[in-house]
Amino acid sequence: MILTNKERTKPHPTSKSSKKKATGATSKRVQHTKGRHEGTRVPKNRTNRPEVSGRSFFFWSSVALVLLAAFLAFEFLTLPNPSELRTVNPTRTAFMKRSDKQRARKGLSPSRTGQWTRLSSVSIYLRNAVLVSEDDAFYSHNGFDYNQVREAIKESWDERRLTRGASTITQQLAKNLYLSPSRNPLRKIKEIIITKRLEKALSKDRILEIYLNVVEWGDGIYGCDLAARTYFGSSPKGLLPEQAALLAAMLPNPRYLDPRVRPEKMAWKRKWILQRLRSKGTLTQSEYRRAVGTRILVTK
Determine the average pLDDT of the residues in 23-47.
Answer: 49
Name the 3-class secondary structure at 154: helix
> Is 165 part of a structural domain of the chain?
yes
Least confident piece of the model among 44-58, 70-84, 130-144, 187-201: 44-58
Give the Cα separation of 215 and 225 in Å (integer). 11
Average pLDDT along the chain: 83
Per-residue pLDDT tens over the stretch 229-259? 999 999 999 999 999 999 999 999 998 998 8
> Is 240 part of a structural domain of the chain?
yes
> Is 41 part of a structural domain of the chain?
no
Band of residue 100 on the pLDDT scale cut at 50, 70, 90: very high
Read off φ and ψ for residue 113, nearest 5 degrees: -130, 155
Identify the DSSP state of 12.
P
Candidates 196, 193, 200; CA nearest to 72 is: 193
Whether the predicted pLDDT of 61 surpasses 90: no
Domain range for residue 254?
A: 94-293
Per-residue pLDDT tens over the stretch 109-127? 999 999 999 999 999 999 9
Per-residue model confidence (pLDDT) at position 21: 47
> What is the tally of structural domains in the chain?
1
Per-residue model confidence (pLDDT) at position 96: 96
Identify the DSSP state of 298.
-
Per-residue model confidence (pLDDT) at position 72: 67
Band of residue 44 on the pLDDT scale cut at 50, 70, 90: low
> Is 1 part of a structural domain of the chain?
no
Q: What is the pTM of this model?
A: 0.76
Per-residue model confidence (pLDDT) at position 19: 46
The amino acid sitting at 289 is R
Contact 283, 291 (CB under 8 A): yes
Give the Cα separation of 102 and 98 in Å (integer). 6
Per-residue pLDDT tens over the stretch 163-185? 566 799 999 999 999 999 888 88
> Is 103 part of a structural domain of the chain?
yes
| CATH value at residue 106 | 1.10.3810.10
